[in-house]
Structure 1
Amino acid sequence: MFDIFLEGLKKILKSRLFPITLIFLALFSVIIHRLFVLQIVQGPSHAEEFDLKQTKNREIKSTRGNFYDRNGILLASNMLTYSVTMEDSNEITSNEQRNKVIHKLINIIEDQGDTLDNEFYIIQTEDGEFDFTISGSALTRFKKNVYTYMLENNQLTEAQQKASAKEVYEFLRKGTGDNYTTMFNISDEYSVDETLKIMSVRYALLSNYPKFVQITVASQVSDTTVAAVLENSADLPGVEIQQQTHRVYHDSLYFSHILGYTGLISAQELEDLDDGSDYYNSTDIIGKSGLEKEYEKELGGKKGNETVTVNIYGKVTDVVDREDPIAGNDVYLTIDSNLQRAAYHMLENKIAGILVEKLQPDMNYGSKGESAADILLPVYEVYFALINNNVIDITAFDDRDATSLEKQVYQKYSTRLNQVFDQFDTYLDSNNTVTNSNSGDMEDYLIYYYQVLKDYDILLSKDIPADDPVYKSYINDRTSLSNFLQHAIASNYIDLSKLNVGEEYYSSEELYQKLLDYTKDILLSDDKFNKKIYRDLVFSYKLSGTEICLLLFDQNVLKSNKDENDLKSGRISAFNFIKDKMTNLEITPAMLALEPYSGSVVVTDVKTGDILAMVTYPSYDNNRLANKVDAEYYKKLLDDLTKPLLNRATSTRTAPGSTFKMVTSFAALEEGVTTPYEKIRDLGIFEKINPAAKCHIYPHSHGSVDIVDALKVSCNYYYYEMGFRLSIDSTGKFNEKLGLEKLQKYAAMFGLDHTSGIELYEAIPNVSDKDSVRSSIGQGSNDYTPVQLARYVTTLANRGINYDLTLLDKITNKDGDIIRYNRAKIYNDLTNIKSSTWDSVQKGMYAVANESGGSVNRLFSDFSVTVAGKTGTSQISKVNPNNALFVSYAPFENPEISVTSVIPNGYTSSNAAELTKDIYKVYFNLEDPDDLVKQEASVPDSNIASYLE
């Protein structure tokens, strides 16, 4: 056996392959040894060297500064939340992979109930078409980003400029096919909705600068989203969960118009804020409106940065260097938050009280159409208002889970809708000759039909010559709408491209029928038209008040209670139910959008020019717009007929009415056209001009009055005479321009030709430039915001220091050190005006509230604080209630504050005066604030004088 083994071994050794085998074995041994050394012995050090190959800088966001009121009460602060962020990762090597990662991430976020942050500017409409959500320079900027790799000299080609939303969508989805212009390469496997969402994230990454900065895909996400993202992190390269701060507004309802809100920086804002330092980038949260925007640099702080090392997979392995961010400064306002809250509630209570007082159980409109003096409010207007202002959601009536009542109401709507369209078929028949005014209950519908054609640019109204005979005949109600529309088609006044006629030939009758069909489709989806149907149902008693009231419970506007059963059983009428809910503010003026529904109050410190309160009603919750816009809520605000986003204290101009008479008093006394002692007899009608002007008390008379009495009783005749005298030139002739110039001069002295100076956007005031006689009582074209009137009355109170009003008290750093201490600047000094002039005007304002016969003497005669003021009631029309104004200050002996109250459509100045009295009660601690701000309508005092001034 052993001999056999030796024989075999000899053969192997003698083989010619043996040396080669030895060589291979030796080499293999060397390789094994080397691998052992590299991976086992030296592996850790090599891995470390490999990981340290790449470094990059990352910014660290700073914490935004807080807002406080003058007493240190917190108004706005920050809260830590989680956000999902993303950056381009080296692990992602293709468009297909990137789209899959983003799609997976979107599904994870939305499955947990969260939403994406990234704004995209293309949408798909309900009819399947694509459209841009922006226009103008913003659209140009968007297209430049889209075609960024195809631009020549950074300019769009003509084709790119004219590219439709669909063309841009397709380019982003597929590009043009070469290496430079292929964009997102999104597969057809994704739906249009999914594609648009993927595009929103891809576009954010595309336009992000610097590129290494992470974008925020979703902010303020839930814990479940955080867990889901972390659980799937292996499949989501470049995605991280980060802690970020978001803005929180405390008691936002009262301060939203002052503070504004924050949000993700837009492309336009990025461009506007670019100072060459590249400090801001597309991931920054900035102030979007209000003082948040005004004090962005103070509040925003200073970003930090860190240098990190990353491996080939883009994962951070170490922090090499770090510079901590510097928190933003804190801003203290001049606002007294307690006074602000109280004034807001008292304003709401007063507006509600006016509505309740005017509410009628029938169709009684009072003097509406004939005079503004006594307009009333039928409860049927309230029923419809609940639908018209979307308190009751009519789109829910045909939902699968609609209540039986909602389905019943929808059936009534459907029946009436079909009737209206049947009548449209009759009145729009090509042979119809009946004019709108002769169409009975279809007149309003036919007028609206014509308006829709104009609003949707189907009827090219700008192309119609004013002297077109058929057009003139229709406008003058001598031709039917049918006849006019057929004429419009024949005359090329109709945009046929909207009717999808293409290149085919159609007869005039066929084109007319296409126009009718197309317009019918528009009307079916037109919100205003559908609400016309519901108004028709309410005012024809086919949709009862009880049904409207019960819908409030069905749609959870009101919580179910005993009232619901009482309504169903008839134990309470719909009228009494509505009146009760309006009285206890379960149904507010802001919900109804019926006149009056808005108002403002401005309270100033007359010695410093500080604004202590600046209230706008109605308001909104800026928390739902901050950081990340609640799209549904924002749309609701935009659709709200009360326009809650509007800052009425700064942006709504109102004719000042008789509150302007102090300006005229100064002009008359200082220009020497009267003296403090001259008496002028009120003749009721001022006939020195044509047309003649009447005193508000006509056919009665104020008798003979001097300037103090004229202010006290607000005698229009006296001020007509002053306006007339100011217009007499050196030759003794009436020169209206001269009178206007003199009134403008004194208005300017009180700052009424300029904004008030506050740190917010303000509408430009207008000093009257027509009718010097009527301008002297605040008519003509005089128009001022409440805050501008507040500066004016503040100057009256302190006898001549005209401040640029301010909302800023001080700015401090996070250590509490004051870095800016603010005081209102003096805009103009009127202290050189004669003391006798000041005395006359102030005595007149004192008499308004404190002497027998004064406009609001009954209101203030027994008040423990002496108030000086002036009422103002400006007329709008015969179908709208008058505006109510009251400007004042107190105490008269040593003024501390001024109060300016404006209630548009508030009927009479006494309503504004009653509101003002309540504000003084709070400020001077004369009554328990809880009794004044409780949720209950404040019905006007019937004993207070009420007249047009």
Structure 2
Amino acid sequence: MTAIKGEDYYLIAENKVYRNIETQAPRGEIRDRNGVLLAGSKPSFTVSISQNELNQEGVNETASLLMNILKENQETYIDEFPIVFTENGYAFTYEQKVRDWKIQNNIDLSKNAEESFRTVARNLNDQGIIKINPDDSDLEIQRKINQAGFYPPISISKMEFTEFIKKQEWLLRYRIRQEDITAEEAFKRLKTFHNIDENISDDKARDIMVIKDLLRSKGYFQYEPAVVAMDISKTTVSKIEELSLELPGVSVDVEPIRYYPNGAFASHILGQIGRISSQDEIEKYVTGLGYNRSDMIGKTGIEKHFEDVLRGENGYRRVQVDAFGRLIENIETTQPSAGDTVYLTIDSKLQKVAEESLKKTLETIQVGGIYESQWGNMRLRNNRRVYNKATSGAVVAMDVRTGEILAMASYPDYDPNLFATGISIEDMANLMPANMNDPLAPKPLYNIATMTAVQPGSTFKMITGLAAIENGLDPNYKIKDEGYIELGGRTFGCWLWNVYRQKHGEEDLIGALRDSCNYYFYSISVGYDYSKDKPLPVKMGSQDILEMSKLFGLDNLTGVQIEEISGRVPNPDQKLIETRRSLYFDIYNRMANHFTDITQNSQTYEDRINEIVGWTQENPSRSELMRRMTDLNVKKELVEEITDHVKYSYYTQGNWNQGDTFNLAIGQGAHAYTPIQMANYISAIANDGYLNKVTVVDKIESYDKKQINEIPRESERIPLNNYGNLEYLRRGMIDVSDEGTAKQLFEKFPIKVASKTGTAQKTGTIPEADEEAYLLRHLRDFNLNQARVLERAEELEKESNENLPKHRYIRRAIKDLNPSLTDTQINRFKETYDNFAWFVSYAPHDNPEIAVVSLIFQGGSGGYAGPVARDIMAQYFGLNEEEELLEEDPDSTSDF
């Protein structure tokens, strides 16, 4: 038989292959330090469709009927079909996603992938979020960008937008090699490909294609069912069962899905999950780790950073398939094992107080109301105004001894359950900022505590004071506050002088911290007593303050196991770079009609603009600068105007000067730190100089509870000349709570708290959500005719090689038609930003255990961020009535 039928038997054997159909393992649990469940898994109904069991002649009818059922019952289904219908007709989602990303990141729409990547990298470097070295490769730059929590949709290896790569792969799936095919042409070709009746509407046709695209995405793995919808209702299950004869190949199974029993609770720590989507994820998880393309993975937070231990081990159903991937026979079944449990350092009761108090604080500030508390009521308004734009904020509570995060809240937040089965377009839209142009617009998905770095204001003054006394300044040396210091034509005033025209009198270090006396810190920052017009007995300069800032970790990541960016200690050299960059963008359009012999659209124009920018560091005299402008053929009548503008608005500001050191000393200027960095800095003051590596994870316990991996607590003592100097900072902060700007907060509080308030300036106008509408609305104020402006804008767009948003051309047209207008004048009808409010604290004063730092966007005054810190401390020290703050959902379990 072998001799006669050997080839036949060989083919049969070759055409029968064993494969495993995976059954999803429940993700490991995430619990707080006391074992309270924060993220688990629950059983849910999942709808799948199997190519192997479909009636191929009636597959379109099956797909259409299934989609009708899902839509009628308002179920969220998996829709990865990349052609959609818009107001402008058919469109590929690939192009839409790239365009949306560019708009969100203020990138010229005409830029290709490489140009866009360079723009993102340059912007993040200029903002101090990442640090790019000259010899960094593209892969190293990408690593730094990703580490900072930014993920440009660009494949570095191919230097192409990942969405465009996915588009090419998708077209090839249907044997379409025409890369420039339009969405409409592709849709019509697929309608024929899938044998969809011409009389069926495009909407119904697309429903069919959604299902058939899911099936086709399986490729050779036809034996694997394609998941269509997850976590469907019992009503939908009943309907599918009722119509089972009309839905061959459609099945409903019980599978685990991620579940967060407390909704939005600790959402920015826990993070979210989602389907594998980006090219980087495909390469890492599918190609590298053997995941299925349809698997859910951690996208942010603990879910992402502990994906390898949370995932668990999938079970499988072993089957026999033929050479075409079609199912022949079921062989055996192996049960899945859940992932390990991650225990966090946060305390759920403390976390709940942090979240509720932060929200209450923001709501009270917005209406200028009274924050009521058993520890003392506080009016959160200025006598002259209400800070109604205080809509976002964050708070961090940290164990000063270990660096453990005890609570961390960011507002607004979001419910990660929305992502557990794939978020809908509508839900995702609701989580986006209402004003994409405003960097301070509320962003529910953004963790302010770790991902936003801003000026610290007066909360930084302990660094300046420590730098001075470490250099030898007697902390008891008194400097008389004379209200303000005149320097280079500018006035640097103490806050008391600026607001009330009053002076603090004589101040030593402790008193200056208590009263937040700017005059004292201005003086010690440069080693000069301006009240006595003589040098201090120690040498001091900006570098001493900068180095002390770095010692306290303000230039580095804290080490927390979720997304974070590193704040930025100012760099004097960076100031010149940023000044040059700002000058370029300012005068590039401003000078479009300033030359006698050239227009804007020429290389010579670009060269002249760069030449003017190149004089920044030199800062020529006014007369020399006017001569150079004349040599560049600037129009005679405009020479004086542009000379004064570039010299006094930019050149004189380009190099680091004494005024910059003054701003540095009081936490203004180019500082930028995150709340979590500030909490670690305050902890180091409280714990006698130990800088901790921050952790939000306590331990990891295996599913069978046989193995526990403790997360090590690490700290390193800051090298100081005299650790006793820290006591002067602590005494100053205690006086802030007892007698200073935080006195009202802690008058009735039974535990002595050390604290410091800070108000950080946020200058500028708030961009409009619709810049085009704003400009057109105010054309009369600019003495311009709308028809003429739009006509000129259209001309500029045709002349330009750029693909910019329409409002950019309208703005150029306005300045063309009325050259006297500056951007500042055009923006004068917009609202201005309010100041950031900071509050830093630790307690008890004599044996510190906990540090709490809060930040309120546009909160107006530092003290307004204080009530949330006081509430957290009251809970931590057991001053509140005990109550059950969180309850576990009885349906949540990992036992399947």
Report if the CA contact (8 A) 2:276-2:282 is conserved: no
**Contact 1:62–1:303 under 8 Å retained in 2:** yes
Is 1:120 aligned with 2:81?
A: yes
Aligned residue in 1 for 2:877: 924
- Equivalence for 1:742: 544
Q: What does residue 890 of structure 1 align with?
A: 843
Residue 680 in structure 1 maps to residue 680 in structure 2: no
Q: How far is 1:784 from its partner?
A: 1.3
Q: Distance in 2 between matches of 1:620 and 1:149?
A: 36
The structure with higher relative contact order (CA 8 Å, sep 6+) is 2
1:238 maps to 2:37: no
Residue number in structure 2 paired with 1:717: 519
Q: CA deviation at 1:831?
A: 5.5
| Alpha-carbon distance in structure 2 between the residues aligned to 1:709 and 1:86 | 73
Match for residue 671 of structure 2 among 782, 792, 807: 782
How far, CA to CA, are the matches of 2:61 and 2:325 in structure 1? 18
Question: Residue 844 in 1 paired to residue 644 in 2?
Answer: no
Cα displacement string for residues 623-652 of structure 1 (whole angstroms, at most 9, x for unaligned residues): 122223143222222254532222121222
SS of match in other structure, 1:134: helix
- Matched residue, 2:506: 704
Residue 922 of structure 1: how far off its partner (Å): 1.5
Asked whether 1:873 is paired with 2:826, we answer no
Q: Which residue of 2 aligns with 1:200?
A: 210
Q: Which residue of structure 1 lines up, in the alignment, with residue 662 of structure 2?
A: 773
Report deviation, 1:257. Answer: 1.2
> 1:226–1:682: structure 2 CA closer, same or farther, 3 Å change rule?
same
Match of 2:606 in 1: none
Contact 2:528–2:535, Cα closer than 8 Å, also in 1 = no
In 1, Cα distance between equivalents of 2:859 and 2:876? 23
> What is residue 80 of structure 1 aligned with on the other side?
43
Structure 2 distance, partners of 1:861, 1:704, is 26
Distance 2:708 2:302 in 1: 18
Q: Which whole-Å CA distance do the structure 1 matches of 2:307 and 2:529 have between them?
A: 48
Alpha-carbon distance, 1:834 to partner? 0.6
Given that residues 918 and 932 in structure 1 are in contact (C-alpha distance below 8 angstroms), is that contact kept between their aligned partners in structure 2?
no
Q: Name the counterpart of 1:806.
A: 695
Change (3 A) 1:334 1:105: same
- For 1:163, the equivalent position in structure 2 comes to 181
Shift in Å at residue 621 of structure 1? 1.7
Contact preservation (8 Å) 1:65, 1:77? yes
Separation in structure 1 between the aligned mates of residue 17 and residue 468 of structure 2, nearest angstrom: 80
The Cα of 1:213 is off from its aligned counterpart by 2.5
**718, 724, 727: which one aligns with 1:830:** 718
After superposing the two structures, state which structure 1 stretch, 899-908 or 185-194, moved more.
Answer: 185-194
Alignment of 1:460-539 (within 5 A): none
**Maintained 8 Å contact 1:270/1:281:** no
Q: Which residue of 1 aligns with 2:684?
A: 795
Give the letter aligned to residue 838 of structure 2: L
Q: Deviations over 1:389-420 (max 9, x none)?
A: xxxxxxxxxxxxxxxxxxxxxxxxxxxxxxxx
| Residue correspondences, number | 632
Pairs within 5 Å for 1:60-459:
60-89=23-52, 92-93=55-56, 97-132=58-93, 133-135=96-98, 137-148=161-172, 159-160=178-179, 162-174=180-192, 183-208=193-218, 211=221, 212-268=223-279, 270-274=281-285, 276-277=287-288, 279-309=290-320, 319-357=330-368, 374-377=383-386
Q: Does the Cα contact within 8 Å between 1:346 and 1:918 map onto a contact in 2?
A: yes
The partner residue of 1:607 within 393, 401, 421 is 401
Structure-2 change in CA distance of 1:704 and 1:73 (3 Å) = same
**Which residue of structure 1 aligns with residue 466 of structure 2?**
666
Q: What's the CA shift string for 1:50-94, capped at 9, x where partnerless?
A: 9x9775421121111111000000111111111111232275446
Deviation, 1:604, is 0.4
CA contact under 8 A between 1:757 and 1:806: conserved in structure 2?
A: yes
Alignment of 1:547-696 (within 5 A): 594-640=388-434, 642-672=442-472, 674-688=473-487, 690-696=489-495
Cα offset, 1:322, TM superposition: 3.6
AA in 1 matched with 2:43: L
Larger radius of gyration: 1
Provide the C-alpha distance between the structure 2 equivalents of 1:877 and 1:790, rounded to a whole number of angstroms: 25
CA contact (8 A) 1:261 1:625 kept: yes
549, 558, 563: which one aligns with 1:756:
558
Over 3 Å counting, the alpha-carbon distance change for 1:856 and 1:237 in structure 2 is: same
Q: Distance in 2 between matches of 1:817 and 1:54?
A: 37
**In the alignment, structure 1 residue 900 sits paired with structure 2 residue 853:** yes
Say whether the 8 Å CA contact 1:922–1:929 is kept in structure 2: no
User: 8 Å contact 1:889–1:896 — kept in the other structure?
Assistant: yes
Q: Distance in 1 between matches of 2:758 and 2:289?
A: 52
2:650 aligned residue = none
TM-score between the two structures when normalised by the length of structure 2: 0.66
For residues 5-53 of structure 1, the C-alpha deviation after alignment (integer angstroms, 9 at most, x for no partner) is xxxxxxxxxxxxxxxxxxxxxxxxxxxxxxxxxxxxxxxxxxxx99x97
CA contact (8 A) 2:470 2:720 kept: no
Judge conservation of contact 2:700–2:709 (CA < 8 Å) in 1. yes
- What's 1:515 paired with? none
SS of structure 2 residue aligned to 1:900: strand
Hey, what's the Cα distance between the residues in 1 that align with 2:247 and 2:462? 70
Which residue is 1:855 aligned to? Answer: 741
Alignment-mate amino acid for residue 727 of structure 2: D
Change (3 A) 1:925 1:210: farther
2:28–2:340 CA contact under 8 A, matched in 1: yes
C-alpha root-mean-square deviation of aligned residues, in Å? 3.3
Superposition deviation, residue 346 in structure 1: 1.4
Looking at structure 2, the residues matched to 214 and 744 of structure 1 have their Cα atoms a distance apart, in angstroms, of: 60
Q: Output the amino acid matched with 1:658.
A: S
Contact kept, 8 Å, 1:354 with 1:906, in 2: the verdict is yes
CA distance in 2, matches of 1:773, 1:739: 10
Q: 1:724 Cα deviation (Å)? A: 1.8
What does the per-residue CA deviation read over 1:193-252, in whole Å, with 9 as the maximum and x for residues that have no partner?
122222222222223366232221111122232233334444434322221111111222
1:911 aligned to 854, 864, 873, which one? 864
Residue by residue over 1:369-407, the C-alpha shift from the partner in whole angstroms, topping out at 9 and shown as x without a partner, is: xxx9655359xxxxxxxxxxxxxxxxxxxxxxxxxxxxx
Equivalent position SS for 1:697:
helix
Decide whether aligned partners of structure 1 residues 145 and 738 sit closer, same or farther in structure 2, where only a CA change above 3 A counts: farther
Instruction: Tell me: CA distance 1:883–1:835, structure 2 relative to 1, closer, same or farther (3 Å).
Output: same
Letter in 2 for 1:609: G
Asked whether the 8 Å contact 1:82–1:243 carries over to 2, the reply is yes
Paired residues of 1:610 and 1:807 also in contact (CA < 8 A): yes
SS in 2 for 1:219: strand
Whether contact under 8 Å (1:89, 1:237) holds in the other structure is: no
Q: Deviations over 1:812-833 (max 9, x none)?
A: 112223432113333x421544
**Partner-residue secondary structure (3-state), 1:608:** coil
Q: Is the 8 A contact 2:270 2:302 kept in 1?
A: yes
Q: Deviations over 1:80-133 (max 9, x none)?
A: 111111232275446xx4333322222233334323213232210134343424
Distance 2:263 2:527 in 1: 51
Aligned partners of 2:571, 2:442: CA distance in 1, in Å? 30
